[in-house]
Amino acid sequence: MVRNIDIVQYWPPVLRDIKEMLAIAKVENPVLSALWELLEQTLNDQFVVTVSEDGANRYEQTLNLQVMDNDSIETRRFRILTRYQEQAPYTEEVLIRLLNSLLGNGAYELTINKADKTVDVKLELTVRGMFDAAKDLLERIVPQNMELTVRLRYIQHSVLQDYRHIDLKPFTHDQIRNGVIS
């Protein structure tokens, strides 16, 4: 939040008309504004959801997270949150709570087949870095004796770009989005 700082308003009325004091205020106001912004950013860096680039760098160094050059700040925040969300024991209830907190209710499909020892997760993420971070999280917390499949919930445009409109005409939008086409 940008804060307009004017040191003159804190002075007694006697000093407000002195030319030298106004010149001092003109120099001090930008310094105080910069200091205020730094204080705000330091406060914001205490929380992952409002962390800046510098704050994200500190979190990533602490957690030994790999950063890609093209990662946005939202992707980096998501990756940090996924690491902090890990907690043992990893039960089905904990996994559902974890996915709900990271992705939101209904933003994924989770199928656990205990007899076949498989876990299938379909995610509704469009940013590749977030998908990779969620996949890494699931690979760390799903037991090693279970087969994990993580994929996108909906067909992406890049998959459909090879089709012509005439080829897709027999299908509804819902069928195309959910991957019913062959």
In the chain, where the domains are located: 7-44, 49-151
Element (H, E) at 109: strand 108-113
Q: pTM here?
A: 0.55
Q: Mind listing the pLDDT tens digit for each residue in 59-81? A: 999 988 888 888 889 999 998 98
∠ CA(64), CA(67), CA(70), 5° rounding?
175
d(Cα 33, Cα 30) in Å, to the nearest integer?
A: 5
Three-state DSSP class for 120?
Answer: strand
Q: Mind listing the pLDDT tens digit for each residue in 30-47? A: 999 999 999 999 999 999
| Residue numbers of the chain with a pLDDT score lower than 70 | 1-2, 87-89, 126-128, 154-160, 173, 175-182
